[in-house]
A and B are shown apart, each in its own frame.
Chain A
């Protein structure tokens, strides 16, 4: 089967109970988008799915992964796109306090390849997961925010406890080097407040939603360089506050005093550039997302290098 046909079949399965459509109908829509309008297949699939959701008057949450368990059993490190229906077998490594009534449980799932955040909605009416237990979770849907993936348990999810243990692994990378650049778009920024948008505003404008009242956030887009390789690194609000000691509130005050948000990035540049750091975190596209950062200020061992220098 062609890619288009496979995708069309999957979409068709999701709506076969609600809508009177054929696989050919779905494939035709996909074909128009992909071959006539040059839309990437994943985007085309999203668009066609949204059209059918509207037609059926359904919410995305209500969408199953198709008849039976047609999903792929996925390892956590392989989750690399939002809005995909997958099955995972994983251990609950952490449970956190839910910050909203809409959320019944939130925490971390882990398998041999890594960990991922999960959210279970209150309205999905699912049994509680217990920390330290292993579950086979069928029909969870992936999501992404700022490059970090998560899975959502919804009312179509099937939870099966497994009598086994999993040695939870990590897909984090560690990189070291001098921080040689803090790029534009760092420091105190404003994000679009529209639901699921979160784009960074340029002069008060969102690329998608035009002029909006932005919400303040902190981040650093930096470049770590060891003389052989460069790594682009991304600090979210927490990591930025951690590294700089400047909280979001303090950053807003600094900007207000100076009548200019760029003072925040300027101060960060003056403090951080040209120093050495070790950074650990997951990767996303070309970025390493910073979970852990340590400034390298210990003396290094010159002796070993000197021995080598004398020997060649």
Chain B
């Protein structure tokens, strides 16, 4: 009997970590098998959920419309997304939205090789919606929590207390492919949360005045 394939979870990842990722892989040889982006904190991502500020939109297509959107996270890092004729709803959102605007994006990570041989990562949006500041703030806290969970898992797996064998295959893969200090991502979490508190502080002072 045909079983419904399990839907892929949309990972929460700040732009700093997302843009450090470049390694993609499949779990099987099947042509339709999902493609995963390996995150440097040792998790696979077939889908991401992002809420941030849309800073710029531009039609970068030659023959047909191909929209680029740039979304900034609290640390000032940017996600790049591209939507063309095969993502008509997302493309029309990018055409119509006027930056700056808070948007939420559900999408798939895509990698592409630049002319000088670097691999860049971007998002191919499945849907884009305009949202409010409260939704964005909730996403920042949630993304901080999910990132911390990955970091703690990574640290537990790579803890040096003897044989040093890493059990989790994605953590092992991340060590192999990136070997970047996860401390960087912990710092991004702290900064993102501090920026929320700073915003709150400003709002509170404005309220007192």
Contacts and interface: CB of A to CB of B under 8 A. Distances in A.
A306 B197 contact: yes
Interface residues of A, number: 33
Nearest to B182: A312
B146 A227 contact: yes
Given A269-B127, A309-B190, A274 B104 contact: yes
A275 B131 contact: yes
Contacts of B151: 312
Nearest to B11: A227
Contacts of B106: 180-181, 273-274
Contacts of B60: none
Contact of B138 (A223, A270, A296, A308): A296
B206 to A, nearest CB: 15
A227 B129 contact: no
Contacts of A226: 142
Contact of A229 (B9, B12, B142): B9
The B interface is mostly helix, strand or loop, or mixed, namely helix
Nearest to B189: A309
Contact of A305 (B49, B126, B128, B141): B141
A274 B142 contact: no
Interface in A269-312: 269-270, 272-276, 286, 296-303, 305-306, 308-310, 312
Given A227-B146, A302-B197, A310-B190, A274 B135 contact: yes
Interface string A237-257: 000000000000000000000
B101 interface: no
Contact of A276 (B138, B143, B149, B193): B138
Interface string B130-151: 0110110111111111101101
B155 interface: yes
Contacts of B155: 312
Contacts of A300: 137-138, 141-142
Contacts of A298: 134
Nearest to B190: A309
A312 B189 CA distance: 11
Main secondary structure of the interface of A (DSSP, over half): mixed
Contacts of B152: 312
A10 interface: no
B105 interface: yes
> Which of A274, A286, A298: most chain B CB closer than 10 A?
A274
A134 interface: no
A108 interface: no
B101 to A, nearest CB: 12
Nearest to A181: B106
B134 A227 contact: no
Contact of B51 (A225, A274, A306): A274
B138 to A, nearest CB: 5
A127 B149 CA distance: 58
Contact of A306 (B131, B137, B139, B190): B190
B131 A312 contact: no
A230 interface: yes
A309 B49 contact: no
Interface string A200-227: 0000000000000000000000010111
Interface of A: 178, 180-181, 223, 225-230, 232, 269-270, 272-276, 286, 296-303, 305-306, 308-310, 312
Given A178-B139, A180-B49, A300-B142, 20 more contacts: A225-B9, A227-B11, A227-B146, A228-B149, A230-B7, A274-B127, A286-B4, A296-B138, A297-B134, A299-B134, A299-B200, A300-B137, A302-B144, A302-B200, A305-B141, A308-B148, A309-B189, A312-B151, A312-B152, A312-B155
28 contacts: A180-B47, A180-B127, A227-B11, A227-B143, A230-B7, A230-B9, A230-B10, A272-B129, A273-B129, A274-B104, A274-B129, A276-B135, A276-B138, A297-B135, A299-B200, A302-B137, A302-B140, A302-B197, A302-B200, A305-B148, A306-B144, A308-B148, A309-B144, A309-B189, A309-B190, A312-B148, A312-B151, A312-B155
